[in-house]
Structure 1
């Protein structure tokens, strides 16, 4: 994959990951359904597994106060990218490693998988 395209994808996925941390998106079932693929599932830093097919609550997925850093992408194919980064949860005062798999289809990126692993 050419460097310029990788840079553009990195910018877009960073924007989407940061968007997923905002209260406006996290509390909107409509907005979440635009960013998360139908087959989305997550291995949370809590150890819980969550699937979108289990449903998004009426209040979305909850408000968090987190800072994202060290964002990188790792293209797996032309339309699938692994994003990795660190998160600092300001409320729990906890750092975690994060990874997300994004798929590009129908002219947009949607997250299909996410994992959070606490840094001890």
Structure 2
């Protein structure tokens, strides 16, 4: 189970890294063709949004309280708390990753803004 956790922590960090965020092309390599996101601002984003001039923030992020759980042989749910060290904004995050022919792809992502590092109930 620890190897699953490490693998998906690395995948989550891959789409948060400044290198991935400096180019929409880098992001589309990570995202599933059917990707969609419910952002913490309330907006909805789809993979097609990254095919043009969608601007990503290259902020400094830190993941904490990370968990990865198999939903089936080809899908994984990750949950974690994300601190944006650039803006001071905290959010709870969840992602669903799907195994495809070319590896694991981010299928779904959601962020919910929080007031900081709160204990999970």
TM-score range, shorter chain: 0.7 to 0.9
| 78-87 vs 30-39, greater mean Cα deviation | 30-39
In the alignment, is the contact (CA less than 8 A) between 1:28 and 1:59 conserved in 2? no
Match of 2:74 in 1: 79
Structure 2: where are the runs of 5+ without partners? 116-121
| Residue deviations 1:65-99 (CA, integer Å, cap 9, x gap) | 21111110121101101000001112321211000
Measure the CA separation in 2 of the matches of 1:67 and 1:92. Answer: 12
**Whole-angstrom distance in 2 between the partners of 1:92 and 1:85:** 18
**Structure 2 length-normalised TM:** 0.85
Correspondence 1:53-92 to 2 at 5 A:
53-58=48-53, 61-92=56-87
Q: Does the alignment pair 1:105 with 2:65?
A: no
- Provide the aligned C-alpha RMSD in A: 1.7
Aligned pairs for 1:1-120 within 5 A: 6-58=1-53, 61-120=56-115
